[in-house]
Amino acid sequence: MSKADVSTTELDAFYAAVADAELQPLWTQGRSLQPFAPAPSTRVHLWEGAAVRRLAEESGRLIGIDQGGDRRVLSLANPGLGGAPFATSTLWGAVQYLGPHESAPAHRHSQAALRFVLEGSGTWTTVNGDACDMNPGDLVLTPAWTWHDHTNGGDEPMIWFDGLDMPLVNMLDAQFFERFGSTLQEAEGRNLSATAFGAPGDGFADEARPPSDEEEWSPLFVYRWERTDAELSRRLAAAGDGVAELDFVSPRTGRAVLPTLGCHMVRLAPGSSTPTRRKVGSSVYVVWSGEGRSVIGGTELTWRAGDFFCSPSWAYVEHQAASPSDLFELSDRPALEALHLFRQEVTSDRQPVTSRLSS
Ligand code: 1HN
């Protein structure tokens, strides 16, 4: 591989000197540094909802909120990521458990977060002084650097899915974190953003508008399940092919709800399937209702309500329902769009199934 007249001894000395100088040649790296298409470490994976729920409940019995991290959270840890507590290379996905009459203290961080509520009632998240009630199926946003705390004022435990852009923000070395001066914020009002911005149909679009220079995040902090459900039903009735999809968007700008995180929902009638698509960037899915299967990069996943699964960048993804099904999808798409790195493709081919995972 070296020039014909260079001796092995000379080359060995050269490589040793290069290493000593904390340098590395490009020509010895191989293709992995610059693959022809994304080659993620993130693996296709499914977390069984019943098992996650059981362990979340057990964490409520065994672990206090004051034991670290300000929250009682079990993160989805992708087996391809070397033990990191991340669902994909860019996304944090987790289940949080808040027992009756517990609260999780106020803090803020440069990582943006959202909650998709799984079970319970009587809980609210206060976001910059707006106490947002949380009920199953609601999507609650806590944009980057907003103060947020959670209070369960009821008699039942509350469980929700947490999504954050933490791996991405940490990779960019852009993390800041601050504790509020007291445990909880003084609320300025209740459901203020939902009252101001949450009229029926507001905050949903076929596809979030790509970025422009104005705006930061959605002024609507809570997308109530009743409105999402009504919008999905309306779209399904109009669809004809048994598939209704929507992006959650800022009612002010039509852009994705957060600059780094995209939220999407798919409703499938029994027997119907989404097209087979691939996109740059990863996703975490929450099976909100139903039963079905997805094929992701040739791996077939069989899922039911309560399960979580993920898709790596550039893997083909298709979903098929066995019963009426709703899938909530968290993605890093807005971050990729903002960096002009987003691409997607649709194919009419079905993927060959090469392996299987089930809950
Ligand atoms: C966080 O602030 C919450 O506010 C949940 O509920 C999960 C995971 C990592 C870092 C911050 C919350 C989190 C988190």
- The total number of residues shown for the chain amounts to 359
pLDDT of residue 145: 95
Number of structural domains (the chain) is 1
Q: Whose CA is nearest to atom 7 of ligand 1?
A: 162
Rounded to an integer, the average pLDDT of 66-81 is 96
pLDDT band (50, 70, 90) for residue 359 = confident
pLDDT tens for 218-251 read 999 999 999 999 999 999 999 999 999 999 999 9
Q: Answer yes or no: is the C-beta of 115 below 6 A from any ligand 1 atom.
A: no
pLDDT of residue 274: 97
Is 90 exceeded by the pLDDT of residue 351? no
Mutate to test the pocket of ligand 1, among 128, 162, 169 (most ligand atoms within 8 A of CB): 162
Residue 37 included in any domain: no
Amino acid at 184: L
pLDDT tens for 266-314 read 999 999 999 999 999 999 999 999 999 999 999 999 999 999 999 999 9
Residue 5 included in any domain: no
Residue 2 included in any domain: no
Rounded to an integer, the average pLDDT of 26-34 is 91
Q: Distance from the CA of 180 to the center of ligand 1, in angstroms?
A: 14
Q: Mean pLDDT in the chain?
A: 95
pLDDT band (50, 70, 90) for residue 36 = very high
Residue 28 included in any domain: no
The residue assigned the tokens 């490589």 is 15
Q: Answer yes or no: is the C-beta of 96 below 6 A from any ligand 1 atom.
A: yes
Residue 94 included in any domain: yes
C-alpha to C-alpha distance for 227 and 254, rounded to whole angstroms: 17
C-alpha to C-alpha distance for 233 and 267, rounded to whole angstroms: 8
Rounded to an integer, the average pLDDT of 164-187 is 96
pLDDT band (50, 70, 90) for residue 215 = low
In our burial notation (b when 16+ CB lie closer than 10 A, e otherwise), range 285-311 reads: bbbbbbbbbbbbbebbbebbbbbbbbb
Q: Find all residues with CB under 8 Å of 2, minimum gap 6, and list them.
A: 11
Residue 30 included in any domain: no
Domain of 124, CATH number, reads 2.60.120.10
Residue 143 included in any domain: yes
State the closest ligand 1 atom to the C-alpha of 94, by its place in the atom list counted from 1. Answer: 7
pLDDT of residue 228: 98
pLDDT of residue 14: 98
- Domain assignment of residue 234, given as a range: 45-178+187-358
pLDDT of residue 214: 54
pLDDT of residue 358: 79
pLDDT band (50, 70, 90) for residue 350 = confident
Residue 31 included in any domain: no
For the chain, what percent of residues have pLDDT higher than 90?
Answer: 91
Amino acid at 53: R
For residue 190, give both structure tokens. Answer: 């209740």
Q: Find all residues with CB under 8 Å of 221, minimum gap 6, and list them.
A: 127, 130, 132, 140, 141, 142, 193, 194
pLDDT of residue 1: 55
